[in-house]
Amino acid sequence: MSEKDGEPAFPCDPERTGNPTQHPGMSLRDYFAAKVLEGVVAEIRNLDAATKDQRDALLSKVAAICYEIADHMLEAREK
């Protein structure tokens, strides 16, 4: 996880959980992107009517936009 990704969103502290495995959790950037994706997917219509290539292109673009928005959210936290 890089500094650009923000701190962990859901770290697992072995001392607190009793689980001997420490897991850093997902990055805050990944969490922000996933939350954006929830809203975007709710707005996408007629994906079933699209061809596989059209759907793949659209989903690739949506994924890139989600991370772009997540990056802006991380920048806004710094202000």
pLDDT of residue 68: 92
61 vs 65: CA distance, rounded Å:
6
74 vs 5: CA distance, rounded Å:
8
Q: Show pLDDT as tens, one digit a residue, over the chain (79 residues).
A: 566 766 666 666 667 666 666 666 777 888 888 888 888 777 676 666 778 888 888 888 888 998 999 899 888 888 7
Question: Please, what is the end-to-end C-alpha distance for the chain in angstroms?
Answer: 22
Of residues 57, 12, 4, the one with CA closest to residue 30: 4
Q: How many helices (H) does the chain have, and how many strands (E)?
A: 3, 0
pLDDT of residue 34: 86
pLDDT of residue 46: 61
